[in-house]
């Protein structure tokens, strides 16, 4: 869509209709597999990839970002060929269970003009559908290529600086060449990640990996390196998507531990940082 000062003013602050969604143990297991759990060592993460293993089933924390479905925001139309995921955050206030039912309310928080692109920032509040308790909050930034230039505010980044020391932990994962085909089964069927012809129309040589799949790999790295494998220790997790990843790429997650959590970056084998400005706060 073509943004104008008037259309931005009419969209910002709009809330979508509450949307109820649910998931089962199978959905949580599929998500864990889709973000690489047990891929390199089949028996190391059985609590995330099986429901009848030696430990009770647990849920990868970032699953909330795909399990809670948001509603359509009035007035906001998105061209998938121009869309890149710019950033994502989530904050958990309670335990994510293998089976759940939630009610989600989404809001457009801001729309910024980056000149050649627009950035649409949204947030969602996610409530347990049975108890009404606030379970989680999520936030996302949509980078819309070619949609800037209307003279709007550019917005400012939150402060973040890479520590001036070597990482405390480094975790390396290699994605599968069919990783995107597996991850799309968790809900994101954008053909940018599966259809070579569509990817070329969008300006890419071949389909790229979902940013949220790279994000899930990164969450797993922090889960084990900082939270001791306990998803209930996750509080808030946020990161920016800075470069695209191709299925088959190797990901290196650099982690600097802090008093209340960690800072992190994820790079691919070329050295390019693909997830940046990462912050984890434990609870």
Q: Which tens digit of pLDDT belongs to each residue from 154-210?
A: 998 889 999 999 999 999 999 999 999 999 999 999 999 999 999 999 889 999 999
pLDDT above 90 covers a percentage of the chain that reads: 86
pTM for the whole thing? 0.92
> Are β-strands 100-113 and 19-23 bridged in parallel, bridged antiparallel, or unpaired?
antiparallel
Q: Which region among 71-75, 148-152, 155-159 has the lowest average model confidence (pLDDT)?
A: 71-75
Q: Radius of gyration (Cα) for the chain, nearest Å?
A: 18
Q: Which region among 27-31, 142-146, 270-274 has the lowest average model confidence (pLDDT)?
A: 142-146
The arithmetic mean of pLDDT across residues 258-262, rounded, is 97
Predicted pLDDT at 60: 98
Contacts of 244 (CB under 8 A, 6+ apart): 84, 204, 208, 209, 211, 274
Bridge partners (DSSP) of residue 23 are 100
pLDDT at 75 over 80: no
pLDDT at 3 over 70: yes
Q: How far apart are CA 2 and CA 149, in angstroms?
A: 10
Contact between 128 and 95 under an 8 Å Cβ cutoff? The reply is no
Q: Which residues are catalytic?
A: 188, 193
pLDDT at 64 over 70: yes
The arithmetic mean of pLDDT across residues 69-79, rounded, is 79
Q: How far apart are CA 143 and CA 135, in angstroms?
A: 27
Q: How far apart are CA 64 and CA 134, in angstroms?
A: 13
The set of long-range contacts for 48-57, using a CB threshold of 8 Å and a minimum separation of 24, is 51/25, 51/98, 57/25, 57/28, 57/29, 57/98
CB atoms within 10 A of CB 215: 24
Bridge partners (DSSP) of residue 102 are 21, 128
Predicted pLDDT at 175: 98
What six digits make up the tokens of 171? 């975790």
The arithmetic mean of pLDDT across residues 102-126, rounded, is 94
Instruction: Determine the length of the chain.
Output: 283
Predicted pLDDT at 72: 77
Residue 259: pLDDT band (50, 70, 90) is: very high
Query: What 3-state class would DSSP assign to 265?
Result: strand
Predicted pLDDT at 70: 80
What six digits make up the tokens of 236? 């808030």
pLDDT at 1 over 90: no
Residue 81: pLDDT band (50, 70, 90) is: confident
Contacts of 131 (CB under 8 A, 6+ apart): none
CATH 3.40.1280.10, applies to 5-282: no
Query: What 3-state class would DSSP assign to 247?
Result: coil
Q: How far apart are CA 84 and CA 68, in angstroms?
A: 20
């Amino acid at each position: 869509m073509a943004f104008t000062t008037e259309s931005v003013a009419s969209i910002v602050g709009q809330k979508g209709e509450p949307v109820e969604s649910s998931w089962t143990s199978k959905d949580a297991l599929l998500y864990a597999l889709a973000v690489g759990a047990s891929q390199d060592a089949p028996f190391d993460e059985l609590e995330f990839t099986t429901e009848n293993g030696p430990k009770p089933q647990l849920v990868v924390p970032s699953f909330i970002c795909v399990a809670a479905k948001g509603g359509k925001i009035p007035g906001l139309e998105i061209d998938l060929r121009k869309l890149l995921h710019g950033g994502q955050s989530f904050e958990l206030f309670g335990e994510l269970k293998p089976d759940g039912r939630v009610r989600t309310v989404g809001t457009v928080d801001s729309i910024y003009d980056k000149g050649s692109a627009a950035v649409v920032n949204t947030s969602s509040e996610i409530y347990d559908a049975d108890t009404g308790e606030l379970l989680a909050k999520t936030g996302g930034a949509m980078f819309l290529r070619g949609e800037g230039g209307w003279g709007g505010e550019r917005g400012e980044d939150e402060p973040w600086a890479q520590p001036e020391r070597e990482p405390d932990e480094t975790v390396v994962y290699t994605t599968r060449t069919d990783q995107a085909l597996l991850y799309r089964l968790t809900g994101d069927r954008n053909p940018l990640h599966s259809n070579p012809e569509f990817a070329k129309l969008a300006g890419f040589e071949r389909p790229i990996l979902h940013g949220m799949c790279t994000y899930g790999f990164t969450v797993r790295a922090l889960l084990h390196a900082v939270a001791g494998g306990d998803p209930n220790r996750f509080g808030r997790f946020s990161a920016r998507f800075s470069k695209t990843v191709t299925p088959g790429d190797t990901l290196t997650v650099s982690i600097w531990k802090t008093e209340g959590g960690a800072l992190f970056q994820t790079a691919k084998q070329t050295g390019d940082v693909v997830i940046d400005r990462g912050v984890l706060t434990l609870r």
